Amino acid sequence: MERNKTATLATIDATSLHYRNLNAQLRDLVAGGTEKIIINNVYGQRYIGTDLNKPVEIEIHGTPGNDLGAFMDGPTVTIYGNAQDGTGNTMNDGRIIVHGRAGDITGLSARGGEIYVRDSVGYRAGIHMKAFGDKMPALVIGSTAQDFVGEYMAGGVLILLGIGLEGNQHKASFIGTGMHGGAIYFRGSIEEHQLGKEVGIAELSGEDRTTLTRLVTKFSRYFNCDAEGILKEKFTKLYPKYLRPYGQLYTY
């Protein structure tokens, strides 16, 4: 661990470092007032950034392990590489920017903050994201997602930009199954049979447009692409048709 004394920048070489030691170092650095931490040679260490609650910047070079930023509360984590499963699991606040792809259950139960993934994500991305008041998590995916994206969504915004999509066609099935809050915006085409039973299709409202523009502009800034070009094309909104998707299941 090297700490730059004048600026509040630190560098960690994560070679052969157990996640417990890595996270302990992060905790110490952040408690000591370090504002930016660069972690090099990351090879699958889990839980990076968990238990950090300040808006520090963390740069990861390599491949972080599962549960990156789980329960995280404020930092901005940029990954130059792919993220694995559970990225942003139950995250409360902060930002995760993945210059690559992310695995399954990206953004599971996120309660706030933003996740940007340049390429695609695995299964069940954005499952059970929530929102309340000014806490409004966002998951922006550059390309596409696998099955059950947006499952059980109770709030927040999920965007599929469809960049580089083969035949312009998303392949996920069961999109938004059990969705009862929040919104999914997508570019590219999705057939009706790919949607969960609880999801409706709509045109974007002015308010939807504002949200979309704000998030796509940020996405483009992070990954250096043409926001206007993306936003020019047609986006469609998926919304929960029912507040109570399973309200009719029971008899008293």
Partner 1 sequence: MKMLVPPKFRVVRDATRCIGCQVCVNQCSFDAHYYDAEDVVVCSRDENCVACHRCATFCPTGALTITRNPLDYRENQNWHREDIEDIWRQAESGGMLLTGMGTDKGYPIYWDHLLLNASQVTNPSIDPLREPMELTTYLGRKPDKVKISPDSLKLETEMAPQVRIDVPVMFSAMSYGAVSLNVHKSLARAATEMGTLWNTGEGGLHPSLYKYGKNTIVQVASGRFGVQPSYLHAARVVEIKIGQGAKPGIGGHLPAEKVSAEVSMTRMIPRGTDALSPAPQHDIYSIEDLTQLIYALKEATNYTKPISVKIAAVHNSAAIASGMVRAGADIIVLDGLRGATGAAPKVIRDNVGIPIELALASVDTRLRQEGIRNQASLVISGGIRNSGDVTKAIALGADAVNIGTAALVALGCHVCQQCHTGKCAWGICTTDLSLTRRINPEIGARRLANLLRGWSLEIKDMLGGMGINAIESLRGNRLHLRGVGLTDTELEILGVRMAGS
What is the pattern of x (binds partner 1, CB under 8 A) and - over residues 96-135? ---------x--xx-x------------x--xx-xxxx-x
Amino acid, res. 147: D
What is the DSSP code (8-state) at residue 207?
H
* Number of residues lying near partner 1 (CB under 8 A): 47
Beta strands in 65-204 (DSSP E): 73-80, 93-98, 114-117, 138-141, 154-160, 181-187, 199-202
Q: Which residue among 7, 15, 21, 27 contacts partner 1 (CB under 8 A)?
A: 27
CB of 242 to partner 1, least distance (A): 9
* Footprint of partner 1 on 35-94 (CB under 8 A): 46-47, 50-51, 53, 66-67, 70-71, 73, 85-86, 89-90, 92
Between 133 and 206, CB nearer to partner 1: 133
CA distances from 218 to 1, 83, 130, 168, 209 (A): 31, 19, 21, 23, 14
φ, ψ at 189 (rounded to 5°): -110, 145
CA-wise closest residue to 39 among 21, 59, 17: 59
Between 114 and 162, CB nearer to partner 1: 114
CB of 216 to partner 1, least distance (A): 25
Pairing of strands 181-187, 235-240: antiparallel
Binding site for partner 1 (CB under 8 A): 19-20, 23, 27, 46-47, 50-51, 53, 66-67, 70-71, 73, 85-86, 89-90, 92, 105, 108-109, 111, 124, 127-128, 130-133, 135, 152, 154-155, 178, 180-181, 243-252
